[in-house]
Every structure is written in structure tokens, then in C-alpha cells.
Amino acid sequence: MKLYFAPGACSLSPHIALREAGLPFTLEKVDILTGRTASGEDFAATNPKGYVPALKLDDGNVLTEGAAIVQYIADLAPSAGLAPRPATLERARLQEWLNFLASELHKAFSPLFRPGTDAAGRQEARTAIARRLGHIEAELADGRSYLLGDGFSVADIYLFVIAGWAEGKDIPLSAWPRLTALLERVADRDSVREALNAERLAA
């Protein structure tokens, strides 16, 4: 398998998941601005959507959208315990979290990555992000270690990547101590350190 990624982008989530699952894969860095990969590929030929992540399977099929990719990875390596079994309420809870993270938290950051967003728009985005992070903090009030309970899952990986953008966008995570503790638990995993090193990102 080949994972198309951009350093520090949301593609870091399936990158970590692949390492957690112990699956063989290669990395292909994408320059989103030029649409070319490190080896000179036209990324649009692989993913016409133009954004990462994209996972090219050994048979040539390409899977896109991070929430779908991480579940696929988890199902390829069930012994890694990255996702509950399909057709269970627990699996639906995982999908519930992944959908929330993708559609509510991840997308809420978009204005902060657009150079043309004015000051009012940036503040509105920070307010929306804070509200969503506050929801996660409230869910963690029952003492659970991870989003699904005591078990680590691909939802925690996705949360780690997206919430990791907050400090750099002037959203101090200290306001949410339970969330911060969860992120620290994820950051301490070998797979996370390995992925950050591979993408040349500070741990």
C-alpha cells in the first residue's frame, strides 16, 4: 500500500494507524500547492479531489477520506484492536465519533488555514472549535481514557491529529484538561513518535 500524505496534514491520522496496525506501506509526499508528489506524480491522477490522504492499495484501487481509510486499516489488522467489530453498537459509536471529528471539528479549522479569512472570521472559527472541544471534554467527564472508553481506537488518532492544530492557531488546549490528558496518552505511543519522525515533525 502507498499512503499519499502532506506533513502535519490530516493524512497523519492514517499514517499513525498504519504503524499501529503493523501493516507494510510506503509513503509518497504530496505538494498540495503544485499538485505533484515527491516522485513527480500528478496527484490529481490518483485523487481528483486534490487533497490528502489517499491510500493506493496493492491492486491499484485508491481509497480517500480519512475516516474511511482508518477504518479500512483497522479492519485489515483486527488483532491490533483499533476498531470494534463491524455490525456492533460499539462500531457505530466509533463511526459516530469519526463523523463528528470530520464534519464538525476538522472542518471548523478550515477558515484558519485560508489566508483570506478576516479577523472576524478567524474568531468565529476559534469559537466554533472551542465549542466542539468543549463537547469532547464533557464526554470525557465519566473518566474514560479514550473516546470509546478504555480502549484506544482510530478515533483517538484522528482526534490527536486535528486537536494538535489548536495551539498553533491560538487555541490553548489548557482549557480542556481531560482532552489534554487523552492527547498526551496518544502522543506517548511508539507509532505516533515514528510517524512524526518520518514526516519530520516535532514531537
| pLDDT tens-place values along the chain, 203 residues long | 999 999 999 999 999 999 999 999 999 999 999 999 999 999 999 999 999 999 999 999 999 999 999 999 999 999 999 999 999 999 999 999 999 999 999 999 999 999 999 999 999 999 999 999 999 999 999 999 999 999 999 999 999 999 999 999 999 999 999 999 999 999 999 999 999 999 999 75
Query: What dihedral angle (degrees, nearest 10) is formed by the CA atoms of 86, 143, 179, 67?
Result: 0
Q: Write the single-letter amino acid at 151.
A: G
Quickly tell me which residue has 499512503 as its cell. Answer: 3
Pairing, β 26-31 against β 54-56: unpaired
The rounded distance, in Å, linking the Cα atoms of 134 and 138 is 6
Q: How many residues does the chain have?
A: 203
Cβ–Cβ < 8 Å for 161, 10: yes
Q: What is the pLDDT of residues 6-24, one digit of tens each?
A: 999 999 999 999 999 999 9
The pTM is what?
Answer: 0.97
Sheet holding 26-31, edge to edge: 36-37, 26-31, 2-5, 54-56, 62-64
**Dmax over Cα atoms in the chain, in whole Å?**
49
